[in-house]
Structure 1
């Protein structure tokens, strides 16, 4: 995820319960700056720490 964002690629992320949803929700990661991820979310656009996003993702790239 970090490498993709660093070279300007977009990342679609399926999120589990947490800051973004009570059930399931997709968000678009659009950039990275000093460890903070720019998020386009249909419900709320914000900047989040990478660790928070990774913790709430349903699947990480290492999982498939």
Structure 2
């Protein structure tokens, strides 16, 4: 129980909520990319990775910049 409380206390709630919304948005974005392009799985995965990953990085950078 002590371990669980320790883990929960270290969670950044703001990032947790933002990443939750980004997760749902990423699913819809990936679905849209898949419906628009008719590529093989690995090409779709690469395109989604190149589009979605920078969004998560940008959120983390913006949070560090504006939370201090």
* Same fold per superposition (TM over 0.5): no
- Bin for the TM-score computed over the shorter chain: under 0.3
Flag the structure with larger Rg: 2
Q: Name which structure has the greater RCO, CA cutoff 8 Å, separation 6+.
A: 2
Bigger strand fraction:
1
TM normalised by structure 1 equals: 0.24
Bigger helix fraction:
2
TM normalised by structure 2 equals: 0.23
